[in-house]
Amino acid sequence: MAAMLHSTPQHATRSRQPRAQSSAPESTSRYDGPMHRLARLLSALTASGLAAAATLAQPTKEPAGEAMWAYTVKRGDTLIGLSRELLQPGIGWKRVQRLNRVADPYRLMPGSTLRFPLAWLRLEQSTAEVVFVTGTVQVERAGTPPAALTVGARLRPSDTLVTGASPSAVALRLVDGSRVMLAPDSRMTIEQLALRGRSGALDTALRLEHGSADSRVVPLGSRPPRYRIDTPAMNLGVRGTEFRVHAPSASNTRLEVLEGSVAAGAAAGAAVQVDAGFGLLAQAGAQPQPARRLLDAPELPAAMPRVERLPMRLPWA
């Protein structure tokens, strides 16, 4: 009996040990269950949302000195779709989101405004229309012999215009309404004509190798156009203005500004702003000379004498 009484506790002890071991998995399963996983997911989503809110709270700064284009949102627009259509490759929609502090890129309020830097917009090739021709004017195009230019012809980048002796001349109209007149004995190459997306802003780059050109550049609302004309001696960055540039040789250039302003500079160095009523001279390899006021236009009398009859006596050989 004593032996039986002594063995009972040992058996009881052995029988309780598996229970103690099985209690640990039960405790672990309670903390790794579906509710716990859901709680961790909600916590991660909350942290992600707070990070996104912090990003929008610190928007991207507008590029210094860069012109902006304002787009009015239409029904069905999304930030991702607009970015794919309007932006250059490599500029993602997230930059536009930060710049405009857009909370949901899939939900845009119709009638609201989005701002796009012009430098971010996709470039689309444009053309120039010939609106006036007189005398001998030819266009030189890669892969083809020089051809006579006629009114209505379309010119594209890399085309070179050549005018003959006086009174030969040609006038071009750009898609933004700007006009360029090439004077006699001139040679000019169109280096770039490109529209910036839907903005209507035109990037224009011309190179006047020699001769004279008159430009009337139309500003696009509050945004200046991106118009440049270079000569061997000077580079001209133009805002909405009317000006003349003369390059009689590769060594010197003369600028006359009639309206607006022109930034004139050499290939290296700071540009000089030339306002309406002023002009300057530039020598190749040197900075432009200081701007000087142009001579006033001659005043004509209000009433000119009228000739009623011309002398009828003609000299005979």
The per-residue pLDDT for range 181-211, each reduced to its tens digit, is: 999 999 999 999 999 888 888 899 999 999 9
- Which of 263, 238, 234 lies closest to 249, judged by CA? 234
Q: Which two tokens stand for residue 307?
A: 């000739």
pTM here is 0.69
Contact in structure between 141 and 159 (CB atoms under 8 Å) = yes
Q: 123-292: what fold?
A: Jelly Rolls (2.60.120)
Identity (one letter) of the amino acid at 152? G
For the chain, the domains span: 67-120, 123-292
**How confident is the model at residue 33, as a pLDDT?**
63
Say if strands 179-182 and 187-196 run parallel, antiparallel, or are unpaired.
Answer: unpaired
The per-residue pLDDT for range 114-165, each reduced to its tens digit, is: 999 988 999 899 999 999 999 999 999 988 999 999 999 999 999 999 999 9
User: At residue 283, does pLDDT exceed 80?
Assistant: yes
231 CB-near residues (< 8 Å, 6+ apart): 207, 208, 209, 245, 247, 253, 282
Statement: 67-120 belongs to CATH 1.10.10.10: no
The per-residue pLDDT for range 34-68, each reduced to its tens digit, is: 666 665 655 554 444 444 444 444 445 555 556 88
Q: Which residues are 292's β-sheet partners?
A: 279
